[in-house]
Amino acid sequence: MARVRFQVPQRFADLDLLGHVNNVAYLVYVQEIRLKLLSRLLGDRLSRMNHVVVRNEIDYLRELSLGGEPLEVDAWVERIGTSSYTIACEILDPVGEVAARSKTVLVRLGDDGTTEPLTDEERDLLAVAADGSGA
C-alpha cells in the first residue's frame, strides 16, 4: 500500500488574520491524517494502544488559503524502530504542489507509562503503509 492519499476538509477557523492558513492549523491537518492512517492500519487496536507523539517537524513550502475542496494529503509510515515509528505527510495545494512536509515520531508506552517495544503484530500492521525506501 505504501503511500495513502487522504482528503482533509478545511475550516474558516484555520485562517489567521493574514488571510492564509495559520502554521498551527497545518499540524491540525497532520493530526487528522495520522489518526485516519492509524485507524486504517490498526483498526480497533488503535483505541487500546498508548502511542504518544514525541516529536513533530514540519516544513512550510507554500501558503494555503481556503479552497472550496478538501486538501489532498499523502501519508505513509517512513520508519519503524524498536519502540518508535515515524509518520510522514505531504500536504498538497489545490494545483497539486507540495505545500508542506511533516514528520511525526510516536512511541509506544506500556501500562506504567514507560517506553515499550512495538509488538510484532504492530510492526506488521504499520509496515503495510511503509514507503519502499524506508521500512
Interface residues with a copy of itself (CB under 8 A) are 9, 11-13, 15-19, 22-24, 27-28, 31-32, 35, 52-61, 70
Which CB atom, from 18 or from 132, has the smaller least distance to a copy of itself?
A: 18
> Residue 112 or 120: which CB sits closer to a copy of itself?
112
The minimum distance between CB 96 and a copy of itself, in angstroms, equals 20
The H or E element spanning position 14 is: none
Q: How far is CA 59 from CA 12, 49, 99, 101, 110, in A?
A: 22, 29, 9, 5, 31
Question: How far apart, in whole angstroms, are the C-alpha atoms of residue 44 and residue 22?
Answer: 33
Q: Are 88 and 105 within 8 A, CB to CB?
A: no
Nearer to a copy of itself, 14 or 74 (CB): 14
Beta strands in the chain (DSSP E): 4-8, 51-60, 71-80, 84-92, 98-108
Minimum distance from residue 88 beta carbon to a copy of itself (Å): 14
CB of 100 to a copy of itself, least distance (A): 10
**In sequence order, which residues have a C-beta less than 8 Å from that of residue 44 and are 6 or more positions away?**
none
Instruction: State the nearest-atom distance from the C-beta of 103 to a copy of itself, in Å.
Output: 9
- Residue with smaller CB distance to a copy of itself, 56 or 82: 56
